[in-house]
């Protein structure tokens, strides 16, 4: 592992993003970095976060500031979870294991994606992290239930159902740059890879030499062959008929905590609660799915208020600074998921790179809290919008 100190020049998430851009083939970098359609929402997420001012209390002793949190009944040193991100295993060799190790080091959970390149069994065996498992529902529900059994057997106690990807998103840059799973050979892709030799050797050649062409590890074994992929394509494509009935089924079958990710309406939050869901993630999927979606910051306060203390509320989408974590907490989130920031980190330098990003975010959060006179997370307060105009 490269030690986090090797990344001393990476002072913020944007530095890690630049380092990732240099290292990754363009098609892959765009896949992790960009939004959808006209990319209005990705900029809007930033602007909406920036518009939230936090209220400093002066003359408070901040010699000891605590960022400790309790998420789903477990104490942890930071209010963070590494978000599920498909294909993290393509940005670094065994990238999901690298991310999970960085999470373990920071004492926070790592959420494994249904579409990860590395299996949850290997991630569990090689990382020591607390694992959550993110579920996309396949058309064949029986195969989905089998996958849940695997996740449980591997030690995941928290299941995260992603509810905001009802249909395939429109990402034109992916069509132009040709990036997708299964990976397809093309002159354009070959040129892109040739221009990024460090990635080509450290990730692609290494994968080819060990486990073969990278693909989704949680998909049935037949999926790895071209014929199998075609035969199975319908069964393991993402179902478009996912409803609260599925939540009911999952609640019956899953013995651990159940989280619904991608909620942006008060009514949906309340319905989740009435289905026995333990937590929701207020998220617009990092602005990757619906370009006219509201930002989580716009709906989080109403949702947190409506839910009261009866269900935990997390948030994500757009965290690039520790202050953004503080902003989500001030709006009512109990915990915050981090998607691209740690992906840039792992792309830049595996576990050490992701660890560096987590260290930077944690230090920024502490500085923000010190400046705010917040000794603990619950002390972080926003400036109420009415006061801005009053
Ligand atoms: C490259 C990439 C892949 C993602 N894949 C998934 C996924 O497989 N399942 C899921 O629920 N969310 C997925 N997400 C969304 C993240 O879990 C998270 O909601 C989002 O990245 C948060 O926004 P941020 O990247 O600005 O932190 C993905 C995000 C990115 C950037």
pLDDT in tens, 251-282: 999 999 999 999 999 999 999 999 999 999 99
- DSSP character for 250? H
On the question of a cis peptide bond just before residue 350, with omega within 30 degrees of 0, the verdict is no
Per the model's pLDDT, the better-predicted residue between 389 and 39 turns out to be 39
- DSSP character for 113? P
The pLDDT of residue 222 = 79
Q: Return d(Cα 332, Cα 313) in angstroms, integer.
A: 7
The pair phi, psi for residue 69, each rounded to 5°, is -140, 165
Q: Return d(Cα 263, Cα 313) in angstroms, integer.
A: 10
Residues marked active site are found at: 285
Place of tokens 């936090």: 54
Q: Beta strand 158-162 with 131-135: parallel, antiparallel or unpaired?
A: parallel
The pLDDT of residue 3 = 67
The pLDDT of residue 227 = 64
The average pLDDT across 97-112 equals 98
4-385: CATH homologous superfamily?
A: Aldolase class I (3.20.20.70)
Confidence category of residue 389, pLDDT binned at 50, 70, 90: low
Please give the distance, rounded to the nearest whole angstrom, from the Cα atom of residue 306 to the centre of ligand 1. Answer: 26
The pLDDT of residue 4 = 64
The pLDDT of residue 151 = 98
DSSP H helices, the chain, are 13-23, 26-33, 40-50, 88-91, 95-106, 120-127, 141-153, 172-177, 187-194, 197-199, 206-210, 226-232, 244-253, 266-274, 296-307, 322-330, 340-372, 385-389
The mean of the pLDDT values for the chain is: 94
Please give the distance, rounded to the nearest whole angstrom, from the Cα atom of residue 389 to the centre of ligand 1. Answer: 35
Please give the number of the atom of ligand 1 that sits closest to the Cα of 116.
Answer: 8
The pLDDT of residue 287 = 98
Probe target for ligand 1 pocket from 25, 48, 86, 357, with the most ligand atoms within 8 Å of CB:
86
Confidence category of residue 165, pLDDT binned at 50, 70, 90: very high
User: At a CB cut-off of 8 Å and minimum separation 6, what does 281 contact?
Assistant: 160, 259, 260, 261, 262, 263, 314, 315, 316, 337
pLDDT in tens, 38-83: 999 999 999 999 999 999 999 999 999 999 999 999 999 999 999 9
pLDDT in tens, 222-233: 777 666 676 677
The pair phi, psi for residue 138, each rounded to 5°, is -85, 160
Please give the distance, rounded to the nearest whole angstrom, from the Cα atom of residue 118 to the centre of ligand 1. Answer: 16
The pLDDT of residue 387 = 58
Q: 180-184, 304-308, 376-380: lowest mean pLDDT where?
A: 180-184
CA-angle at 264, arms to 51 and 314, nearest 5°: 75
Residue 105, SS3? helix
Q: In this structure, which residue's CA is closest to atom 28 in ligand 1?
A: 85
CA distances from 12 to 320, 322, 354 (A): 8, 10, 12
Please give the number of the atom of ligand 1 that sits closest to the Cα of 283.
Answer: 19
Percent of the chain with pLDDT over 70: 97
Confidence category of residue 326, pLDDT binned at 50, 70, 90: very high
| Residues within a 6 A CB radius of ligand 1 | 31-32, 83-86, 113, 115, 134, 162, 261, 283, 285-286, 288, 316-319, 337-341, 343
Domain parsing of the chain, residue ranges = 4-385
Q: Return d(Cα 247, Cα 224) in angstroms, integer.
A: 29
Q: SS3 sequence, 179-201?
A: CCCCCCCCHHHHHHHHCCHHHHH
- Inter-residue contact 302 to 268 (CB < 8 Å): no
Place of tokens 């269900």: 311
The pLDDT of residue 189 = 86
The average pLDDT across 295-322 equals 98
The pLDDT of residue 388 = 57
Q: In this structure, which residue's CA is closest to atom 13 in ligand 1?
A: 85
Q: In this structure, which residue's CA is closest to atom 11 in ligand 1?
A: 162
pLDDT in tens, 169-217: 999 998 888 887 777 888 888 899 999 999 999 999 999 898 888 889 9
Please give the number of the atom of ligand 1 that sits closest to the Cα of 338.
Answer: 27
Confidence category of residue 221, pLDDT binned at 50, 70, 90: confident
The pLDDT of residue 351 = 98
Per the model's pLDDT, the better-predicted residue between 120 and 2 turns out to be 120
The pLDDT of residue 385 = 82
């Amino acid at each position: 592992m490269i030690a986090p100190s090797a990344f001393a020049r990476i002072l913020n998430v944007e530095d890690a993003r630049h380092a990732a851009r240099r290292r990754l083939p363009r098609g892959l970098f765009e896949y992790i970095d960009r939004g959808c359609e006209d990319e209005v929402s990705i900029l809007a997420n930033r602007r909406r976060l920036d518009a939230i001012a936090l209220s400093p209390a002066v003359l408070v002793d901040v010699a000891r500031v605590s960022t400790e949190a309790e998420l789903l009944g477990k104490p942890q040193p930071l209010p963070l979870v590494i978000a599920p991100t498909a294909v993290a295993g393509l940005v670094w060799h065994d990238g999901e294991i690298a991310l999970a190790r960085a999470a373990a080091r920071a004492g926070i959970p790592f959420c494994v994606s249904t579409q990860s390149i590395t299996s949850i069994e290997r991630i569990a065996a090689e990382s020591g992290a607390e694992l959550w498992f993110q579920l996309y529902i396949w058309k064949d529900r029986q195969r989905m239930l089998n996958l849940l059994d695997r996740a449980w057997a591997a030690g995941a106690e928290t299941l995260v159902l992603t509810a905001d990807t009802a249909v395939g998103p429109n990402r034109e840059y992916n069509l132009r740059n040709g990036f997708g799973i299964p990976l397809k050979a093309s002159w354009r892709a070959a040129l892109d890879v040739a221009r990024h030799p460090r990635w080509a050797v450290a990730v692609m050649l290494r994968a080819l030499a060990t486990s073969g062409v990278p693909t989704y590890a949680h998909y049935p074994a037949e999926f790895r062959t071209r014929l199998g992929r075609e035969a199975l394509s319908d069964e393991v494509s993402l179902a478009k008929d996912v409803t609260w009935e599925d939540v009911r089924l999952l609640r019956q079958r899953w013995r651990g905590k159940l989280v619904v990710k991608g909620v942006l309406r008060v009514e949906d939050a309340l319905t989740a609660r009435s289905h026995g869901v333990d937590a929701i993630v207020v998220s617009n999927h990092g602005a990757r799915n619906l370009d006219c979606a509201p930002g989580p910051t716009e709906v989080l306060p109403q949702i947190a208020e409506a839910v009261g203390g009866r269900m935990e509320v997390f948030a994500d989408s757009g965290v690039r600074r520790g202050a953004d974590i503080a902003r989500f907490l001030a709006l009512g989130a109990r915990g915050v998921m981090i998607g691209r920031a740690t992906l840039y980190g792992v792309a830049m330098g595996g576990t050490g790179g992701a660890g560096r990003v987590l260290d930077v975010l944690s230090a920024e959060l502490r500085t923000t809290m010190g400046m705010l006179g917040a000794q603990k997370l619950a002390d972080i307060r926003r400036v109420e919008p009415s006061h801005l105009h009053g």
